[in-house]
Amino acid sequence: MCRASRPRASGPGRASASRSRRPPAAEHPDVSRETCSPPRRTASQPPGRRRCSTCPRQAGGESLEIERGQVEQIFERHYSEALAALPLLPSGSARLLDLGSGAGFPGIVLAAVRRDLEVTLVEPRQRKWAFLRAVTRRAALSCRCLNARVTASELPELPETVDVVTLRALRLDPATFEHLASRLSAGARLLLWTGREEPELPPRFVAGRRVELAGSTNRWLREYRLREPQ
């Protein structure tokens, strides 16, 4: 005896059953499929790199690529070295000038942690300057970004008075420091990320506190104060 098979559901009933098995994220209008799925590697992207689609775009419009293992290095070295300056900053509001800001260390990090600071970022390279502008806008930081170079004969568009100057991965000659001193307030301080050797500074700058940077035996954060006038 042959049993009559039950006909399969068709039409709207079957379509609704299919829709009920979709992942919740696909049904929710505010959640994209990309949020719930792993990032896809493009054919041109090397397997050792990850493309950061959520990072600010570079000046050329392409997203940033981060090598494996670089994330730990960025946090352990760059962020920690920037945050090492916090105990050396004035306790109240102050005007901070970050020269050669590059990728934003330490200027952007300090601006994010100390919102009471008036931070000016100075970067002579066009692409780096555009990157700094994009980051500060995205992070809603009230930083001023200058595409300029500070020299012994020129201080372009710098604030009239500065309380703190930070320099990391940048060297200035003594003549430039001497010229920069004309914009520094009484008792202003320089914060310099250096190696074992002390930088050459004009006599009006007096050495202050020194912090050995974590994870290194030959990198230091050095504080210098502008000598009070007699």
Residue 229 has a pLDDT of: 73
pTM over 0.75: no
Examine residue 115 and state whether it is found in any structural domain, yes or no: yes
Residue 66 has a pLDDT of: 58
216 and 193 Cβ atoms separated by less than 8 Å: no
Who's near 187: CB < 8 A, 6+ residues apart? 225, 226, 228
Q: How far apart are CA 163 and CA 160, in angstroms?
A: 10
Examine residue 25 and state whether it is found in any structural domain, yes or no: no
Residue 71 has a pLDDT of: 73
Q: For residue range 108-164, what is the model confidence (pLDDT) as tens digits?
A: 999 999 999 999 999 999 999 999 999 999 999 999 999 999 999 999 999 999 999
Across-strand partners of 187?
none
Who's near 128: CB < 8 A, 6+ residues apart? 101, 102, 103
More confident residue, 24 or 208: 208
Residue 210 has a pLDDT of: 96
Q: What's the average model confidence in pLDDT over 183-189?
A: 95
Examine residue 169 and state whether it is found in any structural domain, yes or no: yes
Examine residue 21 and state whether it is found in any structural domain, yes or no: no
Residue 230 has a pLDDT of: 66
202 and 174 Cβ atoms separated by less than 8 Å: yes
Residue 6 has a pLDDT of: 52
More confident residue, 5 or 219: 219
Examine residue 148 and state whether it is found in any structural domain, yes or no: yes
End-to-end CA distance of the chain: 116
CATH number at residue 176: 3.40.50.150
**How many domains are there within the chain?**
1
Examine residue 142 and state whether it is found in any structural domain, yes or no: yes
Examine residue 129 and state whether it is found in any structural domain, yes or no: yes
116 burial (CB, 10 Å; 0-12 / 13-18 / 19+) is: exposed
162 and 189 Cβ atoms separated by less than 8 Å: no
Examine residue 161 and state whether it is found in any structural domain, yes or no: yes
- pLDDT reading at 64 higher than 60: no
pLDDT averaged over every residue in the chain = 80
Tokens of 179: 């010229």
Q: Which of 126, 178, 128, 124 is nearest to 150 (CA)?
A: 124
Range of the domain at 184: 71-226
Q: Which of 188, 184, 230, 183 is nearest to 208 (CA)?
A: 188
